[in-house]
Amino acid sequence: MPKAVRRTFVLVTTPVALAALLGAAAPASTGSPGAGDPYFPLAGNGGYHVGHYDLTLRYDTGSGRLDGKAVLTARATERLTRFDLDFTGLTVTGLTVGKAKAGFRRSGQELVVTPQRALRKGERFTVTVTYQGKPAPVTDPDGSLDGWIATDDGAFVAGEPQGAMTWFPANNHPTDKSSYDFTITVPQGRTAVANGVLFSRRTVHGRTTFRWHQSEPMAAYLATATVGKFKVEQFTTGNGIRVYNAVDAREAAASAPVLKKLPSVLEWESKLFGPYPFRAAGSIVDHAHNVGYALETQSRPVYDRAPDLSTLVHENAHQWFGDSVSLTSWKDIWLNEGFATYTEWLYAEQHGGDSAQKTFDALYAKPASDGLWEFPPGNPGSGANIFGTPVYARGAMTLHALRTAVGDRAFFLILRAWASGHRYGHGTTAQFEHLAQRVSGKDLDGLFRTWLDTPGKPNRP
Ligand code: TRP
Ligand code: ZN
């Protein structure tokens, strides 16, 4: 819109006339309730990007009550008269856009915000939401729980794919990545562990406040604020990575020998994939066996029990594949899980265990009726299947088929180029295929179609 035209609006005095003129010049936009993901249509929101989340939380482990304040710094990508956040369960007690109170209503997981005046395209704005209540996890399409999951001494907090919205208002889709500050207050004796680097820990009147900072861009689902009675170990690696391990005493004996290997695992993965992407690393080993999974929370995976070495290798491989390089769509989940699983195979191969070929062969021997062949990993079909065996195992088999076709030199070049080329950003399956063809100089379309997209057990490569 030419500037001269806009200036004439200043002369218009009545709000109705002004709105009509603005409306005519720039169509009113209400953002959109989702980021366009076919598997999770309401996840994320259109019309803005969040650059930073500043979350202040107070969790009472006795009552399970959470008091929160979220300040989102965002930029409008279109003119907005209204926009959505994802937020479910907790009660909103206040909402401002900038300094002004804004209107809001709840509709399912959408928190619909109407600022007093429209946001201009490109405008930077803050949204402050205060909230309270007893958070509860969401049930995913596959029946698993994610989000804020209360435990006997705190909470196991993991948000893949949907659960971030159970504890803070978010643009809850991996296409939007942001930096984070966390200020978390818990009863003295409990530890609150979030992502990134611990800035401070202060105890006043029986409560301890932990301040964490995650500087590199992070998808909302990878945020955590896990609370428990933890033993803490902190050190800095030779490469300057700040390691923070928090371990529930009930898991300490079983996890100690595995956690001891974290520095060497990170170093080994750095050699394969390129530099570790974050300033901080570590582990949160909770005692939450009912959860049934671990999550690659950014810079510091969270485990529902003492992990075995393979799980530690897997979750830390996700720091490159899934965390630093994010999905654009949940349909591409094999880019996370296939890569992390194949890293387990490579680790075994290079540490005296089975070769990746042997692991591949054992899987390939499974009959066509086996669940492994239930759907192709590049097309899980729905959100209910994103953590299914084909995504993990046949996803890893896809990478092994690629390695077999292009040879080790090109294969590891491809992995490193993927990690460095999309560092802190996003990738799609199509981009990975293009990269593999470019690096190897081979036509790999048949291979990818067979392994990623064709239903049923593929013919031997
Ligand atoms: N991404 C996790 C991993 O493989 C697994 C995971 C996260 C998961 N959320 C889940 C598995 C929900 C099943 C259900 O490391
Ligand atoms: Zn995984």
CATH number of the domain bearing residue 239:
1.10.390.10
Query: How buried is 161 (Cβ within 10 angstroms: 0-12 exposed, 13-18 middle, 19+ buried)?
Result: buried
Domain boundary among 193, 225, 257: 225
What is the full per-residue pLDDT of the chain (461 aa) written as tens digits?
Answer: 333 333 333 333 344 444 444 444 456 688 899 999 999 999 999 999 999 999 999 999 999 999 999 999 999 999 999 999 999 999 999 999 999 999 999 999 999 999 999 999 999 999 999 999 999 999 999 999 999 999 999 999 999 999 999 999 999 999 999 999 999 999 999 999 999 999 999 999 999 999 999 999 999 999 999 999 999 999 999 999 999 999 999 999 999 999 999 999 999 999 999 999 999 999 999 999 999 999 999 999 999 999 999 999 999 999 999 999 999 999 999 999 999 999 999 999 999 999 999 999 999 999 999 999 999 999 999 999 999 999 999 999 999 999 999 999 999 999 999 999 999 999 999 999 999 999 999 999 999 999 999 999 998 76
Number of structural domains in the chain: 3
Q: Report residues whose beta carbon is within 6 angstroms of any ligand 1 atom.
A: 140, 142, 144, 146, 160, 293-296, 314-315, 337, 387
The SS3 of residue 114 is strand
Same domain, 50 and 6: yes
Closest C-alpha to ligand 1, atom 9: 160
Separation of CA 22 and ligand 1 centre (Å): 47
pLDDT score for 29:
86
pLDDT score for 11:
38
Q: Nearest 5°: phi and psi at 330?
A: -65, -20
Closest CA to 31 of 44, 40, 18: 44
pLDDT score for 26:
52
Separation of CA 215 and ligand 1 centre (Å): 24
The SS3 of residue 69 is strand
Written as one letter, the residue type at 175 is T
Closest C-alpha to ligand 1, atom 2: 295
Residue 33 lies in a domain: yes
Domain boundary among 291, 324, 357: 324
The SS3 of residue 211 is strand
Same domain, 115 and 239: no
Same domain, 338 and 308: no
Same domain, 79 and 128: yes
CATH number of the domain bearing residue 131:
2.60.40.1730
HSE-CB at 86 with a 13 A cutoff on CA atoms is: 31
Separation of CA 102 and ligand 2 centre (Å): 39
Ordered DSSP codes for 137-191 = PEEPTTS-EEEEEEETTEEEEE-TTTGGGGTS-B--STTSEEEEEEEEEEETT-E
pLDDT score for 28:
64
pLDDT score for 6:
37
**What is the rounded (10 degree) CA torsion for 354, 356, 361, 366?**
90
Q: Which residue of 284, 293, 389 sits with most ligand 1 atoms within 8 Å of its CB, as the best mutation to test the pocket?
A: 293
For 221-256, the pLDDT digits (tens) are 999 999 999 999 999 999 999 999 999 999 999 999
Range of the domain at 436: 330-453
Closest ligand 1 atom, residue 296 Cα = 15
Distance, CA of 204 to CA of 351 (rounded, Å): 48
pLDDT score for 30:
86
Residue 36 lies in a domain: yes
Closest ligand 1 atom, residue 322 Cα = 1
What are the structure tokens assigned to 174, written together? Answer: 């991996």
Residue 458 lies in a domain: no
Separation of CA 411 and ligand 1 centre (Å): 26
pLDDT score for 42:
94
Same domain, 101 and 63: yes
Same domain, 349 and 288: no
